[in-house]
Structure 1
Amino acid sequence: MKRRIVCFGDSNTWGFDAKLQKRFPEDVRWTSLFAEKLGEEFQVVEEGLSGRTAVIDDPLFEGLNGYRYIHPCLMSHAPLELVIIMLGTNDTKERFHLTSYNIAQGIARISQKAKTTLAGVNGECPQVLVIAPPPIGKEYFKTDVGKSMGAGCDTKSAELSTYLEELMQLQNTEFLDTKGKIPMNKIDFMHLDEEGHKLLAELVFNKVKTILSRERKL
């Protein structure tokens, strides 16, 4: 049986291409590139959903609350070697009225739920890695997504990683910060382009290699 890793996230895990308004092909998405680097011993499960939040029910769209879905999601893919969570971009939307610290709290909550789900190897709890997504560029507000997202998303997005790192340390959860390492695209300034997917795959692979080596599993 292959060693399974679930990547749980939003449109940047699903692979949204802002230029063509559709999904990037497999050979571009960071999840696929990450799987290729891991090799045939592993299976990477793409659990990305456009618009997904950590803990918020969106009044405009159905089924986007990650907290409500993560338990059955992880149990359906068990046994799991690792769960990777990258959320927070959608939680910055003005209509949710969350501070950057609130968003970090929500991600900590869903992370804790994943860590206590008996979806790991031999019925144990899986290891969890939380990724702080690249910050939204301030130019987003002047693009087509600006009306839907609302004001202040770039500021909250830029502040998120600091609070998230603090909470993950308290929770004893593995953490990866992409701030300053991966830029968003130059179209809507809140999605990864082809180069961003490559960079993220490399960062995640190096982090996961460290985690599994520490556990003597790689």
Structure 2
Amino acid sequence: MKAKHQKIKSIFLILILFLITTSPILLSALQKNFAIRVACVGDSITYGAKIEDNFLNSYPAQLQLFLGSDYLVGNFGASGYTLQKSGNFPYWNHPAFQESSAFQPNIVLIMLGTNDTKPYNWTGTENFLADYRELIAHYRSLKSQPQIYLMTPATIFPESFKPANGYKMQADVADLVSNAVKELGEEEHLPVIDVHAYTRTHPEYFLLDGVHPDAYGAKAIARLTFEALRENESSFQK
């Protein structure tokens, strides 16, 4: 029986490989119908700004490689956008917000907050969390009833890389945001992927400008996310 199962699995893998190499459009259609859909909600770090060939090297693209063909990962990153509705560019107003909802994801990964740390955007933890709770409620209301993961924003390194100063993001506020996200995760009983704590010890990933990770940094974030998803795999099987 075990040998038969292995044979079926081998045939399936060969079929998937054939589809990838001969008909990407057909594979995409199959994924949309049968794959576990993962929506990566975020800002420029999710989008993959500054990364060469971000279509291939952004963290969502590399997460797709880690997860394999049973998953379809959508990149809904919006460069420069905030979680707070009072921010200069609220994520709520970007087409990616509507697109991430229409995607009807089985898993939602939220990594917003970096642009909220700018002096003219930051209005305090209370306002930030109020809008975050509303965002969580929105995704919970989707027909697909997704498992939601909160991701703390990456560490900012303005003291090491002067280009980061031009973005006017505040590293100390990023610390506040990260702590708030972790507390919100406990409050809402949602898993938290602590990107902030992980990247704090890896400034080498942010040599581009002190804010955006390079392809290696994006891969590290993808791996961290992959490991977190694997730990909770049984809870989001479609």
What CA distance in whole angstroms lies between the structure 2 residues aligned with 1:192 and 1:158?
A: 17
In structure 2, what is the equivalent of residue 193 of structure 1? 214
1:157 is matched with which residue? Answer: 174
| Cα separation, 2, equivalents of 1:127 and 1:205 | 14
1:185–1:216 CA distance, 2 compared to 1 (3 A): closer
Greater fraction helix: 2
Separation of aligned partners in 2, 1:29 and 1:71 = 18
Letter in 1 for 2:82: T
The 2-side partners of 1:115 and 1:76 are apart by 13
What displacement does 1:77 show? Answer: 0.9
Residues 1:209 and 2:238 are matched in the alignment: no
Output the TM-score relative to the length of structure 1.
Answer: 0.80
- Could you say which residue in structure 2 is the equivalent of 1:128? 148
* Superposed displacement of residue 35, structure 1: 0.6
Structure 2, unaligned stretches of length 5 or more? 1-32
Aligned residue type for 1:210: E
Q: Could you tell me which amino acid in structure 2 is paired with residue 162 of structure 1?
A: N
2:99 partner letter: C
| Structure 1 contact 101–163 (Cα < 8 Å) conserved | no
The structure 2 residue matched to 1:3, chosen from 33, 36, 51, is: 36
Pair 1:170 & 2:187 matched: yes
Alpha-carbon distance in 1 for matches of 2:113, 2:43: 9
Equivalent residue for 1:139, pick from 134, 141, 159 = 159
Cα shift readout 1:79-103 (whole Å, capped 9, x = no counterpart): x211111000000111124234543
Q: Which residue of 124, 131, 140 maps to 1:99?
A: 124
Q: Shift of residue 104 of structure 1?
A: 4.1
Q: Which runs of 5+ in 1 are unaligned?
A: none
Query: Which amino acid in 1 is paired with 2:42?
Result: G
Q: Which of these residues, 86, 110, 113, is aligned with residue 111 of structure 2?
A: 86
Find the structure with the greater CA-based Rg. Answer: 2
In structure 2, C-alpha distance between the alignment counterparts of 1:128 and 1:216, rounded to whole Å: 10
Give, as a single letter, the amino acid of the residue that structure 1 aligns with 2:177: L
- The answer to which structure has the higher strand fraction is 1
Change (3 A) 1:149 1:33: same
* Secondary structure of 1:40 counterpart: coil
CA distance, structure 2, for counterparts of residue 5 and residue 34 of structure 1:
10
Distance in structure 2 (CA, Å) of the matches to 1:113 and 1:216: 18
